[in-house]
Structure 1
């Protein structure tokens, strides 16, 4: 699971996703779960909207914006059924999470060695995510939040090497995970497509696109 990513600066996001400059509060470039970071969602007639929200989705039914469990990542295979993510998935509340890089742990040496993942073409990643807007029923406080979707990567030449292996499971059933990269030509399909069109995009990044190694 992804628990750290570095965001591009706003100029890089403007160039990559053709969004106009927004008056958004500053955010920390190095993001960990529950930090405030940027994500892109459909903005109606104006195209994409840049939003700052908590990395860790808050479901609408929660009584508090602070959950007792982590929600920074969502297994895409479970998004339609898990109560935390179900509403956002079925309502089509999909987003793009800009990332200059993200980190994953490699345990091939028997120890946790963090690897840094960039794109080989030098562009930012556009990671597939879900978003929600939580509203406090008493105070009216509004909190935007997002989660990053993951997909099984047991057969991926690079992503299958990440994360601590489960000694009780065979190599082909480890459920190693990978983020999902939405390419620029697929942004509209991801944000506006029907569920079948969206599911076709839920794949791990091709190996040739990945520039990775120990951080």
Structure 2
């Protein structure tokens, strides 16, 4: 099963208040295993950057001024997303910005039925604990040493590892390893069977010889009160 883990960075908290998408990062996973295929883009928001937002992700208006506007990367992004389920942390936030940007350039919205929210999963699995991406990385031993500031692609890569752990992580790996080992053993057995020459041996005689029958009769005569002698003869 193909899924896309993604993250966004923005100029603020709500597109309805005039805020825009400034970065999106996507990571492809198949059967909960990262494939190495990614999509990443910085986006010119065509507006100023609030200092509070810049402090979070470090993306200034000057840095973004020569980056493409969303409508220029939309087709490539849509192609990468395909029809796969989309995994995000606090996914309603990311979906709101993604769908707002898609609507502004005439593309259909991404159906909310495709949304998988790792924040909701974490709250169910670890009630009462901290559920930030940093906290979940610490809980599952995911290395976040490179995460000085928020970055969409790096955060998506970290979230992909966290998502796998939330879904059973290491057990999934064990199952895949066992399946691969079984497949390898089966393939080897087939190869050995096909390579070995077929040897046909003549059947061995199983009837007793005259001498063997004579020795058996002598042995029977030595038995004292055998069981079969106690059974009444039937007509």
TM interval, shorter chain, is under 0.3
Normalising by structure 2, what TM-score? 0.21
Normalising by structure 1, what TM-score? 0.22
Name the larger-Rg structure.
Answer: 2
When you count helix as a share of all residues, which structure comes out higher?
Answer: 2
When you count strand as a share of all residues, which structure comes out higher?
Answer: 1
